[in-house]
Chains A and B, each alone.
Chain A
Amino acid sequence: MQANLKLKGLLVITLLPALLLYSFFVIIPIFWSSYYGFFEWSGLGEATYIGFQNYMEVIQSSVFWRSFKNNMIIVAASVFGQVPIALALALMLRKRNWFQKVVRSAVFLPMVISTVVVGLIWGYIYDPELGVINAVLRAVGLESWTKSWLSDPSVNMYAVAVPIIWNYIGPYLIIFIAAIQNIPSEMEEAAMIDGASGWKKLIYIILPNMWTTIKVAVVLCISGSLKAFDQVFVMTGGGPAESTEILATYMYNNTFLVYRYGYGSAVSTMIIILSLILIGISQLLMRRKNG
């Protein structure tokens, strides 16, 4: 009995610090923001209860939905950029010699670079005067293709997506390489005996065996892209004229630049709801195809 009490005390003492810290900073904010979404509040002074007004304003805001659309562009760019590139590279990187290791390291390297630095460097790369992209275009005689990549609304959202693709290919590559190495070697040998090599082996043996991993990668890609903020914030801040606004920059600009904490809280709540819906849908789609 005494030992039991001692054990209970131990459990409480050991679990409490982590549990409190985690609840206070990760879980409670979600409820706090959905609550403050019902108030008009400048951050200072009294908050006034205004019912669903903030939430209605978010839902009716065309900029909010444009931000959502821009977020979807990043999601699509990641799914159709990162996954195929990583898959193609993984198929070429199946050996463990030094050359292939160097390639792997190079592809993974951007993962450890500060996202602020990533945003700043790519800002320079896109610079209309000094940037390397326009310099290359001029050098090969495609002067007419040069653009101010980050301010031209017809291309800037795609331009913003490229550094994000560049930044996060690494983990997908590693996941795919591991999946290829997990394919039973008997299967490949059997295929060889049957005379399947090259493309046939790829289509009939390798890809079907990787299908589950590819689906996991797509789900990761979707939830990862919804977290984008830093690079976009540093490169464009959501501008010019809100053309590269994504949900997170929209929330930031509407809270901390104009001091509308109530509205910002409502936007935060909407971001959580939309993210959970998207993650839910993607999980569901993946599961159905599994069955």
Chain B
Amino acid sequence: MKKRWFHLIKVTFLSIFSLMMIYPLYWLITSSFKSNEEFFAEPYAFPTSISWGNFTRAWEVADLGTAMINSVIVTVSATALTVFLGALTAYVLSRFTFRLKAFLMVFFLLGMLIPIHSTLVPLFTMMNQVGLLDTYWALILPYTAFELPIAIFLTVAYMSSIPKDLEEAAVIDGTGYWGIFFRIMLPLSVPALSTVAILSFLRYWNEFVFALVFINDNSLKTLPLSLSIFSDGFSTDYALTMAAMTIAVIPTIIMYLLFQEQIMKGMVAGSVKG
């Protein structure tokens, strides 16, 4: 009897806590379907009717379409670059022995200790001098550079667990190192590489500070940057702001629903290594 009560209290508590965790998002998404009048009158009620007006308005007025395209270009290119460079570096670090190997591992590990925002000023001035500011590269390159340590460590750990028999057979067949990398290691490492890809995608899609400092040109702004500016300009137009935020959040929620276990494990592994 006592046990059943305990169980009931536990379930109730967990339910309430989960609702509290989700509430801000629930509120965001429901509010984005309301008109401003309805939002001010009943800010917490469920919308009386579903209208897509805010979304089309956000898309047009705030030029979210451009921001969405920029975010896709930057995120996809940086993710591809991260996966490729991460895999290549991990292949060498996990399969060859050479003098600087241990040093390189530590060198890449160091990057996880550096607070990203402390590199803002130097990166801004450095990229200013070589004319990289206000280009897609101003985001793609630093994003990749900062994600490389995690990408390399997740992939090295995975590749080290792949038995060497296949490669040895391939070497006997006369396959070169590149052949082994592209035809054996890359396909076999797909589980690790897909985790790297998902984590990079989420990180780049949501990234804010670099975009804030390195991008000034309106036509190059990514979604988080547009949202932050947008919220100042239209701060009283709640319905519009909420709809714009919902548009930005939906892709990441879909990713989360599809790859939950991988995201959880990957993020935990990435943070523990750092």
Do these two chains really belong together in a complex? yes
In the bound complex, residues from chain A placing their C-beta under 8 Å from that of B227 are 114, 116-117, 120
Assess the B252–A112 pair: CB atoms within 8 A.
yes
Q: Tell whether B158 is near chain A: CB-to-CB under 8 Å.
A: no
Q: Is the CB of A130 within 8 A of B43?
A: yes
Q: For window 209-250 of chain A, which residues contact chain B by CB distance below 8 Å?
A: 216, 220, 223-224, 226-227, 229-230, 233-234, 248
Determine whether B206 belongs to the interface, using a CB cutoff of 8 Å to chain A. Answer: yes
The reply to whether A25 and B142 contact each other, CB–CB distance below 8 Å, is yes
Given contacts A22-B145, A125-B24, contact A224 B252 (CB under 8 A): no
Residue from B114, B125, B128 with most neighbouring chain A CB atoms (10 Å): B125
Assuming the A-B contacts A25-B142, A32-B122, A251-B120, are A175 and B115 also in contact, with contact meaning beta carbons closer than 8 angstroms in the complex?
A: no
Q: How distant is the Cα of A241 from the Cα of B241 in the complex, in angstroms?
A: 26
CA distance A117 to B245 in the complex (A): 6
Q: Mark B110-123, 1 if CB is under 8 A from A, else 0.
A: 11011111111111
- Per-residue CB proximity of B219-249 to A under 8 Å, as 1/0? 0000111011001000000100100010011
Interface residues of A in 3-48 (CB under 8 A from B): 7, 10-11, 14-15, 17-19, 21-22, 24-30, 32-33, 36, 43
Residue A103 at the chain B interface, CB threshold 8 Å: yes
**Residues on A with beta carbons closer than 8 Å to the beta carbon of B228:** 116, 120, 234
**Whose C-beta in chain A lies nearest to the C-beta of B206?**
A114
On chain B, the residues within 8 Å of A116 by CB distance are 206, 208, 224-225, 227-228, 248
Contact between chains at A89 and B27 (CB < 8 Å):
no
Q: Is A52 an interface residue (CB 8 A)?
A: no
Measured CA separation A18–B245 after assembly (Å): 34
Does B260 sit at the interface, judged by CB under 8 A?
Answer: yes
How many Å from the CB of A103 to the closest CB on chain B?
A: 5
A40 to chain B, nearest CB (A): 14
Q: Are A227 and B126 in touch, CB under 8 angstroms?
A: no
Contact A255 B120 (CB under 8 A): yes
Report which of B113, B117, B274 forms a contact with A248, defined as CB distance below 8 A: B117
In contact, A114 and B213 (Cβ under 8 angstroms): no
For residue B253, CB closer than 8 A to chain A, the reply is yes
Q: Which residues of B contact A115 (CB under 8 A)?
A: 206, 208, 224
The distance from the CB of A64 to the nearest CB of chain B, in whole angstroms, is: 14
The 8 A CB mask of A135-146 against B (1 = contact, 0 = none) is 100000000000
Task: Decide: B18 and A27 in contact? CB cutoff 8 A.
Answer: no
A110, closest chain B residue (CB):
B21
Query: Across the interface, do A224 and B245 meet the contact criterion of CB distance under 8 Å?
Result: no
Interface of B is mostly: helix
A80: interface (CB < 8 Å): no
Bound Cα distance A197, B113 (Å): 41
Query: Which of B49-57, B58-66, B89-97, B161-169 is near enough to bind chain A?
Result: B89-97
What number of A-B contacts does a CB cutoff of 8 Å give?
246
Check if A18 sits within 8 Å of B152, measured CB to CB: yes
**A108-B264, A117-B245 in contact; A27/B110 too (CB < 8 A)?**
yes
Q: How far is the CA of A228 from the CA of B268 in the complex (A)?
A: 18
Q: Is B170 an interface residue (CB 8 A)?
A: no
Q: Mark B76-89, 1 if CB is under 8 A from A, else 0.
A: 00000000011011
What residues of B have a CB within 8 angstroms of the CB of A28 in the complex?
122, 126
Could you tell me if A18 and B88 are in contact, using CB atoms closer than 8 angstroms?
Answer: yes
Flag if B142 contacts A271 (CB, 8 Å). no
Question: For the complex, what is the distance from the CA of A130 to the CA of B19, rounded to whole Å?
Answer: 20
Q: Are A26 and B24 closer than 8 Å at their CB atoms?
A: no
Q: Once bound together, how far apart are the Cα atoms of A220 and B192, in whole Å?
A: 23
Cβ contacts under 8 Å, A248 to chain B:
115, 117-118
Contact status of A220 and B271, CB under 8 A, knowing A26-B111, A32-B125, A248-B117? yes
B6 to chain A, nearest CB (A): 9
Asked whether A30 and B92 contact (CB < 8 A) given A99-B11, A106-B21, A117-B245, the answer is no
Across the interface, A223 reaches (CB within 8 A) one of B113, B121, B126, B265, namely B113
Instruction: Let me know if A24 and B145 touch, CB within 8 A.
Output: yes
Most chain B CB inside 10 Å of its own CB: which residue of A7, A106, A264: A106
Q: Which of B4-45 contact A (CB under 8 A)?
A: 10-11, 13-15, 17-19, 21-25, 27-28, 40, 43-44
Q: Lowest 9 CB-CB distances: which A-B pairs, in order?
A: A25-B145, A29-B122, A106-B18, A114-B206, A32-B122, A29-B119, A33-B122, A116-B224, A248-B117
Q: Enumerate 22 A-B pairs (CB-CB under 8 Å) in ascending A order.
A: A10-B92, A15-B104, A26-B119, A26-B146, A28-B122, A30-B118, A32-B125, A103-B18, A108-B260, A115-B208, A117-B249, A121-B245, A169-B21, A171-B268, A174-B264, A233-B212, A248-B117, A248-B118, A251-B120, A252-B120, A255-B120, A271-B115
* B residues at A contact (CB < 8 Å): 10-11, 13-15, 17-19, 21-25, 27-28, 40, 43-44, 85-86, 88-89, 91-92, 96, 98, 104, 107-108, 110-111, 113-126, 128, 141-142, 144-146, 148-149, 152, 177, 202, 205-206, 208-209, 212-213, 223-225, 227-228, 231, 238, 241, 245, 248-249, 252-253, 255-256, 260, 263-265, 267-268, 271-272, 274
